[in-house]
Structure formats: C-alpha cells, structure tokens
Structure 1
Amino acid sequence: MNIESSTSQFPVSHFNFSRQIKGNETEIIISSYEDHFLVIATQIGTMGTILYARKEEGVSINPTFNVSVIFGKRDEPMLVACARQLIEHMSLSGSSRPLVLSLGLRDHSVETLKGIVSAVMDHCKR
C-alpha cells in the first residue's frame, strides 16, 4: 500500500507516506524545518532510535559527516550507516541542514535500511 500526503502549512511542511520494505509496512514522515530535517521511519508505530547527522564545515575539499546516536541502540552500526547515507545524499542535493533521524524498525538488515534511504531520497527528488 502506498499512501502519500503532503502538508506545507505553518509551522512545518511535511510529507507522510507508507511503503512495504522487506515485507514490513513502513511509515515515513519527512519534516522540513528552517534549520533541520526530521525523518521518522517506523515499522513499530513509535520513534525508536534517534540519530543526529550533520555535514562538518571545514577547509578540506572532501566533506566530512558526523553521525551520533541521541537515544536508543548504540550498538547498531547499520543505523548509523543509514543516517550517514541520508545526510550525504541531502548534502549532494545542495542542503547544508542537519538531519534528525528516527528509526523504529522490526528489521535492521542492510536491505531494510537501503529501502528506507531509497524511499526517502526518491520522495525528496519530487
């Protein structure tokens, strides 16, 4: 099932859609604040692990990205990799805003996390 809705009214514009990712119904909400992006992906109906990702500004030619776990599972490197992929894609599309990512997932497999990155990036290209 693919349900999508968009709201761009005050105070925050957001998109809400649902995708089947590796057999699990996954609700995704993308909110665009003036100074941050918030992405919530949940298969369990709650927020889950919350990560913060940002591009480091510096004198280096190659950008550096910093990802940290705010709340939740700190021993899941694939969650950190998912946040890093999203902030890298957002940075390549011209955004310098940091990302707050919430992942409430039943399945932490590579395929699930790739599906989430793909769904978010496909939706952001619209």
Structure 2
Amino acid sequence: MQDINNTTNIKHFVLLNRLDTLEKEYKESIFRFNELSNEINSFETNYMQSIQEIENQRNQEHQVIGDNFVTLSKYADGIRKYLEEQEKALAKNNTALADEFISILNAVQYDINEIQLRISNLESKYKQL
C-alpha cells in the first residue's frame, strides 16, 4: 500500500513539474510574441516615417531640380517597391508568428488536458484505495 502511495505521489509530482514547465513555456512564448509584436510595431512606425520622409524629400527635390523629376520618381518608386516588399514580408512574418503562437497554445492546451485527465485518473485510483 505504501508503494502505491509513493508511486502515486511520484507521478503526481512529475505531473506537477510538467505543468510548471508548460506554464513557464507558455509565459515565455507570450513574452516572445509580445517582443516580436513590439518589433513589428516599431518596424511599421519606421516604415511610415520612411515613406513620409521619402515623399517629403521627393517633393523638395522636384521643386529644386525640376529637370531630374523622372530620375527622382524612379528612385522613389524603387524605394517604395522595396518597402512594399518589406511590408509583404512583414505580413507573412506576422502570419507565421501567429500560426506558431497558436500551435504552441494548442500544444500547451493538449498537454494540460492530458495532465488533467491523468490527475483525474490518479484521483480516481487513489479514492479506490
């Protein structure tokens, strides 16, 4: 009987440790997601500022240079295309991060459900003893 109690206690302890580990991983994943979200927000802000700066620069150069308008427009268009590509890459990255976060949450939920089931089974066995 003592062996069963010891085994049950050990299994319960292992499950609690696993739950603690999962909680830490979950909190770390939230922290990482928030960090990445902040980086994305910072990039978007810089992107908008860059676009505004480019537009301002283009307007000033157009007024001053005049004859070189076509060249400057191509330059601005090239930068705009680059920034659009960066924006698309950022959107893909956002989607990938969200998918990764959801995957982690699903895995954590699955593990929690498993642990709860095991705990329930252990409690049931313990009550039978």
Superposition TM-score, scaled by structure 2 size: 0.24
Say which structure, 1 or 2, has more relative contact order (CA 8 Å, 6+ apart). Answer: 2
In terms of fraction of residues, the more strand-rich structure is 1
- Pick the structure with greater CA Rg: 2
Superposition TM-score, scaled by structure 1 size: 0.24
